[in-house]
Structure 1
Amino acid sequence: MKFELNKVYHGFKLMEEYEVKEINSKARVFVHEKSGAKLLNLQNDDDNKVFAIGFRTPPSDSTGVPHILEHSVLCGSRKFPIKDPFVELAKGSLNTFLNAMTYSDKTLYPVASKNEKDFFNLMDVYLDAALHPNIYKYPEILMQEGWHYEINNKNDEITYKGVVYNEMKGAFSSPDDVLYRKIQESLFPDTTYGVESGGDPVEIPNLTYDQFIDFHKKYYHPSNSYIYLYGDGDLEKQLKFISEEYLNEFDKANIDSHIEVQKPFNKIKEIVAEYPVSPNDDGKDKAFLSLNFVIGECTDPEVYLAFQILEYLLLETPAAPLKKALIESGLGKDVYGFYDNSILQPVFSIIVKNSNADKKESFKKIVFDTLSELVTNGIDKKLVEACINIKEFRLREGDTRTYPKGLLYYTKALNSWLHDKNPLIHLEYEKTLEKIKSALETDYFEKLIEKHLLNTKHSSVLVLNPKPGMAEEKTEAVRKKLSDYKKSLSEEELDKLVKDTLALKERQVSGEKQEDLEKVPLLSLEDIDPKTEELSLEEREICGNKMLFNPMFTNKIAYLRFIFDTRVVEEELIQYIGLLSAVMGKVDTENYTYMDLANEINIYTGGIVYSPTTYILNNTAGEYTPKFLIKSKALVDKLPKLSEILEEIILRTKFDDKKRLKEIIQELKSRLEMAIFDAGHVVAAHRLFSYFSPVGQYEEITSGLKFYKFVENLEKNFDSKADEIISNLEKISKEIFNKNNLIISAAVEEEDYKEIEKNICPLVNKLGNEKLEYKQYNFELKACNEGLMTQGDVQYVVKGCNYRKLGYEYKGSLQVLKTIASLDYLWNNVRVLGGAYGAFASFGRSGNMFFGSYRDPNLKETLEVYKNLENYLRNFEADKRQMTKYIIGTISNLDTPLTPSMKADKAASCYFSNITKEDIQKERDEVLNASREEIKGFADMISDAMKEEYLCVVGNEAKLRENEDVFYNLIDVFN
């Protein structure tokens, strides 16, 4: 259908229309005349359709009201009155994305689906949730999702409970998260960006029900909304639905959600803050130093894009001059930074980690001296070219992996649209990029540094110091506050608190009316394609080696993988495989310094990544093949250069620069620490698998906590171990990079395959050709059942085993069990009742299974929930509609949209794991035919699995010590 400017379509007036060639889309901007809603449509041939409604939601305090509302509006609405329609959608829709997000100044509700009927169902539930939530009827929603006083009888102590409260306790346990929060606070003392929209755990209990309701009344009106439609959908039909079902009942309103600009400072602000470390920690070398700058406004497309490139140039690439200067100064052990352009006044930060407070002045001097030198002497033009090229490659590729492409475009559009500017200025990047490319011949970036970093006073210096025992002090302060509060209550007030706690629990455990459940729209099994999507993979031969070829449209990008078997490495050196992946490409080679090498990679390729990986053999209890994976990508016409660079790295890397090696090891240790704080559930699950699974043990050694401890030891004793490290890296690289040890994988159009052949063979033929001897690894497996202690305020509780070893086989219906266990049983008992942020189940083909919780205030209670899943299954009841819902939700997970790169990865994984297309189809058939009786039948397996008593918990030191009877060992993770 052709749309005309200034015409009205179902209440929506078309204001602007553009062709956006950068994203191959037609963009249309509408205004809904009656309600005042704004709508952006990006029409294109992408069948993964995206809908979102967002609101400008600037908070005035740190009680977390925008974040708590984001959770709460999805807990039932006018049209869908059940307690959790969000979970019903997760269980029973074909969504390819389903979530909600709180930012510093906006709250977004995006969904995506490839199925049109499902897409309209998702829109219906999300619009009703945002505009007509049940929060006005049920104060218990705030209690559950935000916070409440918990007391079951008058003799108990009062505690705080709530999903967001525990989520943010987890977030504020990470020193990096505390640092980011304090940076914004330091730069924006007078605006909304100076407060924590997610909620500070200290402030969350100050949020009242009236404030909560008033925030929704004020900001969740169509006049303050930003609606988005993306993909190949029927736009007229979509507009008609949104207007007639929702917007027409609202009249335009004047809503003041304007975001003020922070006035610049007269001088650099200096701030000192603290974060918790163990009471036994001396705190040495654990301070963070940061310099932070406000960089114009995000509505300036040129500065917005140029600073993304400049941040990479100064701090991210191995050739980054500012990072190099700071590392070589010895001020700290890791240097990184960020450029946050998601807020009105973007922030650029330079951070030194593992430092000390007395280095602050030296830190400032080195930063400003280095920046001044770059302005005076000029930035290396090859470095400029490299950083512009890698940014351009990523913009054109548009491979987001975690989010649908359409959602990425929405968030980019909002960075101008939210502030009343054209929503397309960051999507139409070609002209801006051309201006920035003038930097190849001018002092463009030097002037940018001068203006925004050297000649500004709107900046801050922040020192974040470790404070031993701070976590215990905070816990005691909360306990005393609640104790004093209890003492201040009258008997009647105490009775009311107990009554409120019990009323909440009664609501949480109460069932839903069948007629209400049936109001949530559901597809039928006939809407699902019974056939699985086939991944094209052809076995070919290339220069005497096996080639796994994926012929597909890749937009002239060649995705190339070199896959080496690592069974050539002896058992005692396996941990060096993980270290090798961190070192390759970051040290000198025979013909390049590591900085020149980084520039070559960024100029001629889309990036090269190195990683240890494992492929578990199908229909086994964890037999596996370990590999070393080199993943690369480049435009087809750059393949000759890609091959030359790979040859240089694989064959001519020099490991003998001790100074550089030490820098890499220090940075690696720092990044692993961050990952442990951010993903405690992953750390615990990997550790758990290492107790009973050889593949789990291998992965623990190459990338898990055992690897972190190995790196920690190398860093601590580097001077005495340096020669040994160099020798071992040289040894295993020679063993691994052998022609007889290699399988190649490529994804590109058939017409470009000859370019792969022509350019790869010279490299392959230069690899070592020695006869190989594959080693047998004999890991000691035993139940260690560890409590991994941190200064975090929450737990990650994991329990599992290998069900194949108990005599059970893998079936597709186990994935339906995963949906039921994760989104029914564990959601209700660990999240809703327990207050954890999340809980999930996993059942792998290898037999490795686990239950896990995320940011969980509990420990033993959660383990008891896992144990009781058996009883839940024995009594499991589900009618045809419910089983259909669970099956559809499971298919949604199986049918995640894949980029060309992801398709190549999946095809290779199936190949090495001996998973055939018949196996994948059989799994799908078993999902589609799963029955209530079959789900009930898994009770015995769960019972046997829980009796194995394998468990691992990452969590708060005091909490783990209180429950030490659960564990065989307690381990201090960071000491």
Structure 2
Amino acid sequence: LLGDITDSFEGFTLSLLSSLLVSGPNSPFYKALIEFQIGTDFAPVVGYDGSTREACFSVGLQGIAEQDIQTVKQIIVKIIDETIKNGFEEERIEALLHKIEIQQKHQSTNFGLALASFISTTWNHDGDPVEVLQINEKVTWFRKCLKENPHFLQEKVKQYFKENQHQLALSMSPDEAYFANQAKIEKEKLQQKTSSLSEEEKLNIVKKGLELMTAQRTLEDVSCLPALKVSDIQPMFTFTPVEMEYVAGEVPVQYCAQPTNGVVYFRAFTNLNTLPEDLKLYVPLFCNVITRMGCGVLDYRQQAQRIELKTGGMSASPQVLQDNTNLDMYEQGVMFTSLCLDRNLSDMMQLWADIFNNNQFAFCSPRFDDEEYLRVLVTMAAQELSNGIPDSGHLYASVQASKTLTPAGNLAEMFDGISQVKHLKRIAEMPDIVKVLRKLPRIKMHLLSSDNMRCAVNATPLLIPEVAKEVEKFIRTVPGLATKKKDKKLLRSNIRERPLNPEETGDEPGSKAIKNLVFDPSFKACQMKTHFQFPFPVNYVSECIRTVPYVNQDFASLHVLARLLTAKFLHREIREKGGAYGGGATLNYSGVFSFYSYRDPNSLETLVAFKKSVDWAKAGKFTQDDIDEAKLSVFSSVDVPIAPSDKGLNRFMFSISDEMKQIHREQLFAVTSNNLIEVANKYLTTGQRTCGVAILGPENEYIARDPSWVQR
């Protein structure tokens, strides 16, 4: 237990101290607990928590053996003693202060909400909200304290973590009979409550239930409420100018001049078309570790320190980008992303250059030879994915349900679905991961090449020329420029070239920027129902239907229909009547129409509700006001503010131009009641559609008896 959060400078200091203790591979608790491999990852709640009147700090592990609990306690005490004695490296403190500076300059679309959340706790406890916001003053005062007293932080560690008697050690162990005991207790409680009810009380409960049902079926009169109208929406949206240049005549670089507040945002996309099929399952792991295992002359700790000191983060993520004209074509690749203050631009690009360099000597390339640290990263990644399933179960269900509907969906499930969770778990349990380690350089050889790369930069207008020089310098260090296009050998013959610039047809003189899309003419969409059994008390349900690509006129009608079904039917049936936390329908760039429910006590009943919603739409049981509300809901996402860092991103990734967005906008305005009924009949009706279904949840005896379901 720490101090009162109304002392804002003390809270600021303790928050910094917490980060120094637990954040990143250079922190003492990471070295002692995570790398010691006594557990799988930090406990779910670690570090400083200022959400209550008296703040607290916690540190611990999950996935440890019961006999190791005392060992963990001893390690924690030892690390606190060593920190009091040795303190922290000055460079680590500077890296943390740099992180604060870049966080202040980085602009997000939820800035106001984040600001309100940041000050609310202190304000609620009669603290000064203005004082909380004075970050620069606190940094200045913090530096002054360190200068006047080099042992300032060590004294804080001693005060709060060594001499503080307000400490609690908590251990939690699984109970194999938990669910059986829970069901037994619930049954006993229910029996106890019902047996104590009189006949009159029972009749009263039934009466209230009937009254609730009547209220749920009664249409509310909302005419007295203030409301926006579709006519209030601007018919045109503001276009974002971008410039495309070609480095060394080959690599396209998109420049987007934006008021980024002195921060440079860099992205590079490289495709996976030459990657052998047996390596694709390992791409997410590659992305997870490529910026974390050390590179060049830097080991993984030095690299992490350098990244924190010179950038706002460097990351890689697998991408499956659906073509906007054909659901059987997609682009596969990896997106590399980073940001930095303008003064650190050269250092950030050098960090990327070291990673992309394909030289076989250790001092010029990523260090894929550290078996022990790879195991640490894999174990942590597997644990984080497993922990995330209860919060994102509906997304996993949707990914699984859409797996058999498009070629892109199949690869997306491999990268982001339950298959990847199980794959990482298997690797984490392997006694020897040398074979896995050897796959990473092979992936790098195919992936990190300028032959299949394009880049995007968002920066202030005055900085663009300097950024262009640094980006060109980086690209010229990346291997692959010597390879001529005619000499490239794609492992897959089913590649279709499309212009990166959506305004080009590909036949114009000077057309250079090309995307290589995967096209599988043999792919046939098929229906599949899958049930994944998890020890959850609730279900995550999804039904996905293949529809049309983004440029199809029906896409706009389906977009509006998804919002209409969510607000006017599914919310009432799934949440209000069914008791789920949430549910609805969505349509995204993939062209897959998805029904879903979240933390749902029902499963098959929810699938019936999905079907009933389609029947409701086909019957046209909605008003013009309902349609207008759905359009307003759609435009709330279409017109959502875009941060300067993300301007032009849809064009860069999906080749969706501002002109295409404007056409889609006009199509949304033009959607009518007849359009909604037509697309419901055309795409969502049983017999006219190809759909997939997935449920994540507890054992279900009805599904178990149904041979049409695949049990996992």
User: Under a length normalisation based on structure 1, what TM-score does the superposition of the two structures give?
Assistant: 0.66
- Residue 498 in structure 1 maps to residue 214 in structure 2: no
The corresponding residue for 1:480 is 188
The corresponding residue for 2:90 is 381
Specify the SS of the correspondent of 2:403. helix
| Aligned pair partner of 1:891 in 628, 635, 643 | 635
The corresponding residue for 2:710 is 969
How far apart are the structure 2 equivalents of 1:703 and 1:437?
43
Q: Shift of residue 870 of structure 1?
A: 2.3
How far apart are the structure 2 equivalents of 1:726 and 1:409?
43
Q: Shift of residue 503 of structure 1?
A: 1.4
Specify the SS of the correspondent of 1:309. helix
How far apart are the structure 2 equivalents of 1:816 and 1:471?
41
Q: Shift of residue 917 of structure 1?
A: 2.2
The corresponding residue for 2:513 is none
The corresponding residue for 1:939 is 680
- Residue 361 in structure 1 maps to residue 74 in structure 2: no
The corresponding residue for 2:498 is none
Q: Is the 8 A contact 1:319 1:594 kept in 2?
A: no
| Aligned pair partner of 1:541 in 238, 246, 268 | 246
**Is the alpha carbon distance of 1:439 and 1:597 closer, same or farther for their aligned partners in structure 2, counting shifts above 3 Å?**
farther
Q: Shift of residue 879 of structure 1?
A: 4.1
| Aligned pair partner of 1:952 in 645, 669, 694 | 694
The residue type equivalent to 2:67 in the other structure is D
**Is the alpha carbon distance of 1:785 and 1:373 closer, same or farther for their aligned partners in structure 2, counting shifts above 3 Å?**
same
Specify the SS of the correspondent of 1:550. strand
Q: Shift of residue 353 of structure 1?
A: 1.3
Q: Shift of residue 772 of structure 1?
A: 3.9
The residue type equivalent to 1:486 in the other structure is T
Q: Is the 8 A contact 1:874 1:937 kept in 2?
A: yes
Q: Shift of residue 370 of structure 1?
A: 1.2
- Residue 461 in structure 1 maps to residue 169 in structure 2: yes
Where in structure 2 are the equivalents of 1:313-712 lying within 5 Å? 313-335=20-42, 337-399=46-108, 404-438=110-144, 441=147, 442-512=150-220, 516-544=221-249, 545-651=251-357, 652-712=365-425
- Residue 305 in structure 1 maps to residue 34 in structure 2: no
Specify the SS of the correspondent of 1:773. coil
| Aligned pair partner of 2:620 in 871, 876, 893 | 876
How far apart are the structure 2 equivalents of 1:708 and 1:809?
37
How far apart are the structure 1 equivalents of 2:306 and 2:709?
51
Specify the SS of the correspondent of 1:963. helix
The corresponding residue for 1:928 is 669
Where in structure 2 are the equivalents of 1:17-56 lying within 5 Å? none
Q: Shift of residue 534 of structure 1?
A: 1.7
Q: Shift of residue 524 of structure 1?
A: 2.6
Q: Is the 8 A contact 1:810 1:845 kept in 2?
A: no
How far apart are the structure 1 equivalents of 2:528 and 2:671?
36
Q: Shift of residue 918 of structure 1?
A: 2.6
The corresponding residue for 2:490 is 774
> Which ranges of structure 2 fall in alignment gaps of 5 or more residues?
358-364, 493-517
Q: Is the 8 A contact 1:590 1:653 kept in 2?
A: yes
List per-residue Cα deviations over 1:807-830 (Å, max 9, x = no partner). Answer: 986421222111111111100111
Q: Shift of residue 543 of structure 1?
A: 3.9
Percent sequence identity is 22
Count of equivalent residues: 664
**Is the alpha carbon distance of 1:460 and 1:639 closer, same or farther for their aligned partners in structure 2, counting shifts above 3 Å?**
same
> Which ranges of structure 1 fall in alignment gaps of 5 or more residues?
1-293
How far apart are the structure 1 equivalents of 2:37 and 2:86?
24
Q: Shift of residue 622 of structure 1?
A: 4.4
Specify the SS of the correspondent of 1:937. helix
**Is the alpha carbon distance of 1:622 and 1:485 closer, same or farther for their aligned partners in structure 2, counting shifts above 3 Å?**
farther
How far apart are the structure 2 equivalents of 1:963 and 1:551?
55
How far apart are the structure 2 equivalents of 1:369 and 1:646?
37
**Is the alpha carbon distance of 1:802 and 1:345 closer, same or farther for their aligned partners in structure 2, counting shifts above 3 Å?**
same
The residue type equivalent to 1:952 in the other structure is A
The residue type equivalent to 1:533 in the other structure is T
Specify the SS of the correspondent of 1:852. strand
Specify the SS of the correspondent of 1:792. coil
| Aligned pair partner of 2:581 in 809, 831, 837 | 837
Specify the SS of the correspondent of 2:84. helix
The residue type equivalent to 1:955 in the other structure is G
**Range with greater deviation from structure 2 (831-840 or 582-591):** 582-591
Q: Shift of residue 804 of structure 1?
A: 3.7
Q: Shift of residue 662 of structure 1?
A: 0.4
The residue type equivalent to 1:712 in the other structure is K
Q: Is the 8 A contact 1:416 1:422 kept in 2?
A: yes
How far apart are the structure 2 equivalents of 1:531 and 1:414?
37
- Superposition RMSD on alpha carbons, in Å? 2.2
The residue type equivalent to 1:479 in the other structure is K
The corresponding residue for 1:859 is 603
Where in structure 2 are the equivalents of 1:231-310 lying within 5 Å? 294-310=1-17
The corresponding residue for 1:266 is none
Specify the SS of the correspondent of 2:130. coil
- Residue 918 in structure 1 maps to residue 675 in structure 2: no
Specify the SS of the correspondent of 2:172. strand
Q: Shift of residue 535 of structure 1?
A: 2.5
List per-residue Cα deviations over 1:324-343 (Å, max 9, x = no partner). Answer: 11123332121252322121
How far apart are the structure 2 equivalents of 1:325 and 1:691?
45
Q: Is the 8 A contact 1:639 1:755 kept in 2?
A: no
The corresponding residue for 2:512 is none
List per-residue Cα deviations over 1:444-488 (Å, max 9, x = no partner). Answer: 322222111122121211111111131232123212321332233
Q: Shift of residue 611 of structure 1?
A: 0.5
User: Under a length normalisation based on structure 2, what TM-score does the superposition of the two structures give?
Assistant: 0.89
Specify the SS of the correspondent of 2:620. coil
Specify the SS of the correspondent of 2:697. strand
Q: Is the 8 A contact 1:385 1:440 kept in 2?
A: no
Q: Is the 8 A contact 2:548 2:555 kept in 1?
A: no
The corresponding residue for 1:37 is none
The residue type equivalent to 1:500 in the other structure is K
The residue type equivalent to 1:591 in the other structure is V
How far apart are the structure 2 equivalents of 1:672 and 1:425?
38
The corresponding residue for 2:468 is 757
The residue type equivalent to 1:371 in the other structure is I
How far apart are the structure 2 equivalents of 1:539 and 1:406?
33
Specify the SS of the correspondent of 1:811. helix
The corresponding residue for 1:726 is 437
The corresponding residue for 1:223 is none
**Is the alpha carbon distance of 1:578 and 1:472 closer, same or farther for their aligned partners in structure 2, counting shifts above 3 Å?**
same
